Structure 1
């Protein structure tokens, strides 16, 4: 057990043999009370308090002993580590998709580390986090950007809790409101727009529209599709890789969220892919797997390649093919009209057909069906309209029952 030491007084035997308190040589100098205790690692720790703060010292010791019994003890001195030092460690050791590591480092250093700097990490309180968010708003950052930065800061503080530097994550406090990005209302393309963009692409790239609009694949996943991924007999496409950029190099990698998925292969898409394979035979392409710095290389016969027999690069494809197709279809060259618009068309078509959100989320590769619902809820068929039709069909059925009005009339 620990104890509270009074450094201004000590007990010595009196003339009568009874202990008496006398002043020490430190009387009136420095902090009076010192709490001394043994930490879980077996080392002695101490903390000093001023004169007239004995109750505070005793309360601190009681809290320490309680935390030790509960297994939630945190060394009060651990929180002195500078925030920037710990954040850089987090950036170095945190597992990120290699294609995202560079942008994440840039964001964290520019908007998080630059603000908190060398402040001891233990002094970052909920009020500190709120002040930081106000600064981000003042810079004019979008809600979506602030939400991403808040997630990074929360991740850093959670790691500090795990490492025993702080007791609680200030980002999780009730008084802190996490930024929520405003979801833009998606207006899906019409089938005519999809067809016009497909027609405007060079023939060797047209099946990209088939796979995007007919199977819901992402852009990088479309570029990473191999004929080997199609089960033409049973009607399935396995999306098991993508082509993405890490720094200045193209690599193969797992789909987003590191999960393969199988999606239904419509007959129309199956036929279009077969025709494409006959006209443009697959080309074996060798790329690094995930990290270009590693020696691992993978060779895949790709369905879509450039005229130079290389994997498609997203920015180059947009410049030489996609933007021209948009122009021909009378669509603006905007972010909402990127290849992701094909996924929105796919989701809207399935919703209109009455498919469940859970199934659509699985086929789109969303980790959480709730996200799918938030993005596409406004595209779902009118629920009140469906309810009216269902009840009308029930009450106006073959039995001749014509609903509540008939019942009320006594017929």
Structure 2
């Protein structure tokens, strides 16, 4: 058991056996009470409290001993590290692919460190988080605030795992994660798709067929190689994408680190055959995932630039995609990027009666529930089918018979 030491007074025993209290040399200097106890690792630790703080010292000692018994003890000194120091350590040791690492570093250093960087981990309270988020209202979109909150919660959660702090202030009941504004997906019409395709340079028109006809992401389209296609059997093997990491192009796994096979419609296969005839594929070598990596991957890319290079998404969006969208009479926005082609693909499959599970597999979603939440409003309405089914049972049509069955 630990004990509480009074550093301003000491108890002495007189020759006659009586005890009395005497002032020490430290009387009136510094904090009066010191709690001394043995940590789970066998080392002695202490915590000081001011004059008239004996009750707080006693409560602290009871809490420490109780936490030790429950296996929930956290050394108070461990939380004295600043948020900035711990966040930098977390960024170094967290397992990311390089593109995710880059964006996470930018968000943490731009939006979290200015507010929490100089605070000790143990000093961050739920009220600080509420104030921080409230200050961002109107400055950042709810979706961005939600992502930043998730980063903060993850970092402080890791601090709990590392026994730096006893609990995560982001998990307090008074703290609520910002909710992104839910916008329903409104798919483009076939005429919109055709207009955008016509507005693209001829060399890049196949991106529309692959996006709208196979549900591929932009980077997956740019990373598609000849060996990934089986034009006769009607399949695509999506196993890489072209990514932009620290301003350099690299090859990497598709999102969620999962490759997949997607049915290749004959119409899209015909487009690919003609494209490869007009623009022969190029064998290109890029680093794998990390620009600094020694691992290099070579692929015969189907879509490349006129400079015989892989396509940079930033260049493509600015010089080809957005001008084509504008020429089609659509106002460019965050919702009119190439990702809109995937929404068209999803709406077409759901309208044809494809299952959510199959659609999730073709889109490369790790969770079919996510696919359902995004696209459930696009599923064909069942109300009329329900009415007709019941009506046929209770009010059968006299004309129905073996001849009309």
TM-score, length-normalised on structure 1?
0.88
Q: Summarize the Cα distance change of 1:216–1:397 in structure 2 as closer, same or farther, 3 Å threshold.
A: farther
How far apart are the structure 1 equivalents of 2:217 and 2:352?
Answer: 21
Most deviating of 345-354 and 21-30: 21-30
Match of 2:58 in 1: 58
Match of 1:405 in 2: none
Match of 2:313 in 1: 314
Q: Deviations over 1:247-291 (max 9, x none)?
A: 221111111122212222223223332333333332111111111
The alpha-carbon deviation at position 156 of structure 1 amounts to 1.6
Match of 1:183 in 2: 182
The alpha-carbon deviation at position 325 of structure 1 amounts to 3.1
Unaligned residue ranges in structure 2 (runs of 5+)? 401-405
The alpha-carbon deviation at position 114 of structure 1 amounts to 0.5
Most deviating of 260-269 and 106-115: 260-269
Match of 2:172 in 1: 173
How far apart are the structure 2 equivalents of 1:75 and 1:307?
Answer: 61
The alpha-carbon deviation at position 233 of structure 1 amounts to 4.9
Most deviating of 76-85 and 220-229: 76-85
Match of 1:206 in 2: 205
Match of 2:237 in 1: 238
RMSD of aligned C-alpha atoms?
2.5
Most deviating of 233-242 and 47-56: 47-56
How far apart are the structure 2 equivalents of 1:389 and 1:224?
Answer: 48
Match of 1:375 in 2: 374
Q: Summarize the Cα distance change of 1:193–1:68 in structure 2 as closer, same or farther, 3 Å threshold.
A: same
How far apart are the structure 1 equivalents of 2:239 and 2:390?
Answer: 44
SS at match of 2:174: coil
8 Å contact 1:183–1:375 — kept in the other structure? no
How far apart are the structure 1 equivalents of 2:120 and 2:243?
Answer: 38
SS at match of 1:134: helix
Q: Summarize the Cα distance change of 1:114–1:328 in structure 2 as closer, same or farther, 3 Å threshold.
A: closer
Q: Summarize the Cα distance change of 1:200–1:390 in structure 2 as closer, same or farther, 3 Å threshold.
A: farther
TM-score, length-normalised on structure 2?
0.90
Most deviating of 163-172 and 84-93: 84-93
8 Å contact 2:12–2:22 — kept in the other structure? no
SS at match of 1:129: helix
8 Å contact 1:327–1:333 — kept in the other structure? yes
Number of residues of Structure 1 aligned to a counterpart in Structure 2: 399
Match of 2:403 in 1: none
Match of 1:96 in 2: 96
Q: Summarize the Cα distance change of 1:53–1:186 in structure 2 as closer, same or farther, 3 Å threshold.
A: same
What are the equivalent positions in structure 2 for 1:289-368 lying under 5 Å apart? Answer: 289-368=288-367
The alpha-carbon deviation at position 206 of structure 1 amounts to 2.2
Most deviating of 328-337 and 298-307: 328-337
The alpha-carbon deviation at position 171 of structure 1 amounts to 0.8
How far apart are the structure 2 equivalents of 1:126 and 1:147?
Answer: 16
Q: Deviations over 1:73-124 (max 9, x none)?
A: 1111121112222222223333333224333323222221111231111111
8 Å contact 1:223–1:242 — kept in the other structure? yes
8 Å contact 1:9–1:21 — kept in the other structure? no
How far apart are the structure 1 equivalents of 2:394 and 2:214?
Answer: 39
8 Å contact 1:36–1:46 — kept in the other structure? yes
Q: Summarize the Cα distance change of 1:257–1:21 in structure 2 as closer, same or farther, 3 Å threshold.
A: farther
